[in-house]
């Protein structure tokens, strides 16, 4: 089963993915590209939002994209 199909099935089950969680779960380094491929195939494209995670060295929070259906 390809990464795209695994990610699509995970999102359809109600999961939420960030680039780090996609790397951990599916070994996918380019989540945005897999989302673009899924977007081209689905009638209802995945939603996304910017979430704040952790802290950097200069007191700024790290922003990452989170995708869900």
Relative to beta strand 61-68, strand 47-55 is antiparallel
22 — pLDDT class (breaks 50, 70, 90): very high
Q: Is the pTM of this model over 0.85?
A: no
Angle in degrees, CA 65, 25, 62, rounded to 5: 30
Q: What is the rounded distance in angstroms from the CA atom of residue 13 to the CA atom of residue 38?
A: 15
- pLDDT bracket for residue 42 (50, 70, 90): confident
């Amino acid at each position: 089963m390809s990464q795209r199909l695994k990610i699509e099935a995970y999102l359809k089950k109600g999961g939420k993915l960030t680039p780090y969680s996609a790397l951990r779960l599916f070994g996918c380094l380019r989540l945005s590209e897999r989302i673009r491929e899924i977007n081209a195939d689905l009638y209802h494209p995945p939603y996304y939002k910017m979430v704040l995670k952790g802290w950097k060295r200069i007191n700024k929070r790290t922003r990452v994209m989170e995708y869900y259906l």
